[in-house]
Amino acid sequence: MIEIIADLHIHTIASGHGADTIRTVCEFACKKNLKAIAITDHGPGFPGGAGITYFMSLQRLANNIIFPLKIITGIEDDIKNRKGDLTISDDILKGLEIVMTGCHPFTWIAKQSKRVRTDAVVNAITNGRIKVFTHPVGTYIDIELKPVLDAVISAGAALELNTSKIDKTDVIMDLLEKCGTNNIPIVVNSDAHTADEVGSFDEARRLLDETGFPEHLVVNRSKESIKSFFDIVWK
Ligand SMILES: [Zn+2]
Ligand SMILES: [Zn+2]
């Protein structure tokens, strides 16, 4: 089975609806022997999401909370217009190591038509603003997958295998097949909203096995692949 050494999509109390702190998340991640976690709270585009000052402080928090794992700074921000701009400005995003977006209820994108929504996601990927498009399938806020796959391929981005939305097995298997065929990297993430969910990868690993998914396309399989894909410093 493919090893997943890091959980790169985790929410904390800063998201407004996460249950635990960064410290508690670290404790649970260490118990599961993860080598790294990414703290990726929602931004202000999602009601209850964290504000600008939290993301400005996140690197300092990550530097000062000491556990035997790497704490990666990140965000799962929301798109605010058809051009694919995010709700947090670029100068603050630049200070974060992993920038992702996804489609969430009660946000700008949820209120758009499928056409506009797809354009917005494609533009966010094409303009290089995000590196991972989270939960691309399996949610009720759907998009056209084909243009998004094309954008991901040309931008060198990745799609997420989100283990909190893995129950629609046929949809997930279809996604894995498309990614495998088109050489699209995936990131396997828990999207944890409680510390207990961090690193819950068993079902995802089973599906990867079942589909014969190419191991080299799983970004969080090793420290080296995470470092090179996200261009982050990790000693
Ligand atoms: Zn999300
Ligand atoms: Zn999330």
Question: Which residues are CB-neighbours of 150 under 8 A, at least 6 positions away?
Answer: 122
Domain presence at residue 187: yes
Contact 131, 158 (CB under 8 A): yes
Q: pLDDT value at position 166? A: 84
Residue 34 has pLDDT above 90, yes or no: yes
- Domain assignment present for 48: yes
- Give 100 Cα–ligand 1 centroid separation in angstroms: 9
Residue 207 belongs to domain with CATH number: 3.20.20.140
Give residues whose Cβ lies within 5 Å of ion ligand 1: 102, 134
Give the model confidence (pLDDT) of 123-150 as tens digits: 999 999 999 999 999 888 999 999 999 9
CA of 164 to the centre of ligand 1 (A): 10
Residue 14 lies in a domain: yes
Answer whether residue 235 is part of any domain. no
Q: Containing domain of residue 65, as a range?
A: 6-230
pLDDT for position 136: 96
Instruction: Give residue 218's identity as a one-letter amino acid code.
Output: V
Whether 221 maps to a domain, the answer reads yes
Using the mean position of ligand 2's atoms as its centre, give its distance from the Cα of residue 166 in Å: 14
Whether residue 1 is contained in a domain is answered as: no
Q: Cα(160) to centroid of ligand 1, in Å?
A: 10
State residue 148's pLDDT score.
Answer: 98
Tell whether 89 is covered by a domain: yes
Answer yes or no: is 154 within a domain. yes
The pLDDT of residue 65 is: 97
User: Nearest bound ligand to CA 192?
Assistant: 2
| pLDDT tens per residue across span 35-80 | 999 999 999 999 999 999 999 999 999 999 999 999 999 999 999 9
**For residue 209, how far is the Cα from the chain centroid?**
21
Tell me the ligand closest to 104's alpha carbon.
1
Query: How many domains are there within the chain?
Result: 1
Q: What percent of the chain has pLDDT over 70?
A: 100
Quick: pLDDT tens for 160-192: 999 998 888 899 999 999 999 999 999 999 999
